[in-house]
């Protein structure tokens, strides 16, 4: 009786192997959360054009604005209002009042953000272009039917799972 209780209290080795295998099969999340202005945050006297230069923004990424909530805000505007620093008619006010605002980049297009209250004239504005992510790399063609990949994928892995299932069933009998 004591053996059964101790064995059931943890994860059985075959179950652990299955859990690890499932985690390895889950595709990696490709979206990126960018802190606007990096360690400087969303503040005056930062050149956000330089910050955005060289970055690839993809559909599904996020912008994270960190700023002094008592002074600044995050407004999405059109290109004309971006260039004129006009905050009178924002497309969207992303300001939540906490000074920690997250903006999902969920459309392939140009985004224009400014801070109202006069800060845009001090450089608090950023324009980014969001595009669709590139397709994953194509798999290399298999040269023959007896390749190592086929051997591992069609024989070894199913065999390991079968042995694990039999082992788990065997352990439950004891």
Domains of the chain (ranges, CATH numbers):
33-131 (2.60.40.420)
C-alpha dihedral sign at 26, 28, 31, 34:
positive
Cα gap 121→97, rounded to integer Å: 22
**pLDDT tens digits along 32-69:** 999 999 999 999 888 999 999 999 999 999 999 999 99
pTM of this prediction exceeds 0.85: no
Cα gap 150→46, rounded to integer Å: 54
Cα gap 124→126, rounded to integer Å: 7
**What tokens does 163 get?**
């042995």
**What tokens does 75 get?**
């407004």
For residue 71, report the phi and psi dihedrals to the nearest 5 degrees. -120, -35
**pLDDT tens digits along 9-21:** 455 555 555 454 4
Contact between 144 and 73 (Cβ < 8 Å): no
**What tokens does 20 get?**
């690890």
């Amino acid at each position: 009786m004591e053996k059964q209780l101790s064995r059931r209290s943890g994860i059985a080795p075959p179950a652990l192997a299955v859990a690890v295998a499932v985690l390895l099969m889950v595709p990696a999340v490709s979206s990126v959360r960018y802190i606007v202005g990096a360690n400087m945050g969303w503040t005056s006297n930062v050149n956000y054009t330089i910050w955005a230069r060289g970055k690839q923004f993809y559909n599904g990424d996020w912008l994270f604005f960190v700023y002094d909530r008592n002074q600044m805000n995050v407004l999405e505007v059109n290109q004309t209002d971006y260039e004129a620093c006009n905050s009178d008619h924002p497309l969207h006010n992303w300001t939540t009042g906490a000074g920690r605002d997250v903006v999902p980049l969920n459309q392939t297009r140009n985004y224009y953000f400014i801070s109202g209250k006069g800060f845009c004239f001090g450089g608090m504005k950023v324009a980014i272009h969001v595009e669709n992510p590139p397709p994953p790399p194509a798999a290399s063609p298999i040269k023959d039917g007896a390749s190592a990949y086929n051997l591992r994928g069609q024989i070894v892995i199913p065999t390991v799972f079968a042995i694990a299932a039999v082992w788990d069933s065997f352990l439950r009998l004891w």
